[in-house]
Amino acid sequence: MLGSGTSFIDSPKTTLINENTISYTTKTGNYLYLSGSLGVNYIFNRYFIVSLEGQASTLPTAPSESDTHLSGMSIQLGLKSYLFSF
């Protein structure tokens, strides 16, 4: 599996006060959000599918002080099962 997406998100404006403190305001900025994922499904048997997926996201147009908590990578391991089987 391969997927990607784009959207625009509103994020609070930030001001870097010092090295460890950021001030958030009620004003927001509209930023481009990009995400992508790559995954593999393994059919374990008729009733169970094991999935492994890696995801990455970034806000390329956001100021560097504010995008660190919104950008990143993750890995997900899942087990899919039918609720009902006929």
pLDDT at 32: 87
Show the tokens assigned to 4.
Answer: 């990607």
Average model confidence (pLDDT) across the chain = 81
For the chain, the distance separating the N- and C-terminal CA atoms, rounded to the nearest angstrom, is: 26
pLDDT tens, 56-73?
A: 998 887 776 665 567 789
Q: Where do the DSSP E strands lie in the chain? A: 2-18, 21-43, 48-58, 72-81
pLDDT at 28: 74
pLDDT at 50: 94
> ∠6-38-42 over CA atoms, to 5°?
140
Q: What type of residue is 39?
A: G
Domain map (residue ranges) of the chain: 2-81
- Give the residue with greater pLDDT, 17 vs 9: 9
Rounded CA-CA distance 50/37 in Å is 16
- In the predicted model, is pLDDT for residue 29 greater than 80? no
pLDDT at 40: 94
